[in-house]
Amino acid sequence: MTTPPRPTHKEFDVDHEYGRQARAPGGISRDAALLRAAAEIERVKPQVSDYIMQECHRLDAALHSANAEGHTDASSVAEAYASSQRLRDVAQTVGYPLLALIATNLCTIFEALEAAQVDYPAAVIECHHKALRLALSRRYRDKEPKDLPELSAGLWQIAKLAQAMRADAKTDTPADAKSEQLKAS
């Protein structure tokens, strides 16, 4: 009879303050906590929705400025990145999944291109700007990414190309060649 192989790692329990509080008697159940959280989200949804719309307008203006006059404005890109981060953090939670997808993609692209030290292609900014305007329109505001498979797939493809460029940043590929690769997509 063979003996089971010995694990290559050692598991151990970590006892910390949060874990002790979670196990303490007298707390509420997980289901009750989830119901309370859902009710709280519904209570603050109108205020958060207003915040999201304000942030979308900031992002819209920043993307427009970032792509103005055929060159990329670094300060507008920075503002677009900041707005994208703020939208990414809350849009999905309060029922704007398409906005969340666009914001998440923009964050991924800005981070990847910055790490790869590649200029921000105007076509990528314009594509996401148009997607944002579409998502803000009354007709598409409540749509989910799965309801718009072509749009979602295209946005994801652009983000994946940017991530690939980030991974290639450690290789010898010149930055100009990487930028041309993204522009061609």
Inter-residue contact 122 to 77 (CB < 8 Å): no
Residue 92 lies in a domain: yes
- pLDDT category at 169 given cuts 50, 70, 90 is low
Task: Provide the residue type at 10 as one letter.
Answer: K
User: How many domains in the chain?
Assistant: 1
Task: Give whole-number Cα distances, 2 to 5, 6, 10, 38, in Å.
Answer: 9, 12, 21, 52
Residue 107 lies in a domain: yes
Inter-residue contact 130 to 123 (CB < 8 Å): no
Quick one: which of 95, 119, 92, 94 has its CA closest to 104?
92
91 Cβ neighbours under 8 A, 6+ residues apart:
52, 97, 99, 100, 103
Lowest-confidence range among 38-47, 103-112, 114-123? 114-123
For 66-95, what is the mean pLDDT?
A: 84
**How many Cα neighbours within 13 Å face the side chain of 65?**
15
Q: How many CB atoms lie within 10 A of CB 84?
A: 28
| pTM, full prediction | 0.70
Report residue 162 as tokens. Answer: 């940017």
Residue 137 lies in a domain: yes
CATH of the domain at 130: 1.20.120
Full residue range of the structural domain in which residue 106 is found: 47-184
**What angle, rounded to 10 degrees, do the helices at 30-66 and 122-136 form?**
130
Give per-residue pLDDT as tens, 22-77. 777 877 888 888 999 999 988 998 899 899 999 999 999 998 888 776 667 788 88
More confident residue, 57 or 165: 57
Report residue 16 as tokens. Answer: 């910390």
Residue 15 lies in a domain: no
Residue 12 lies in a domain: no
Give per-residue pLDDT as tens, 125-162. 888 889 999 988 888 888 888 999 999 899 888 888 88
Residue 7 lies in a domain: no
Residue 174 lies in a domain: yes
Predicted local distance difference test score (pLDDT) of residue 57: 93
State how far the Cα of 86 lies from the Cα of 81, in Å rounded to an integer: 9
Residue 113 lies in a domain: yes
Full DSSP string of 110-158: HHHHHHHT----HHHHHHHHHHHHHHHSTTTTT--GGGSHHHHHHHHHH
- For the cut 60, the answer to whether the pLDDT of residue 174 exceeds it is no
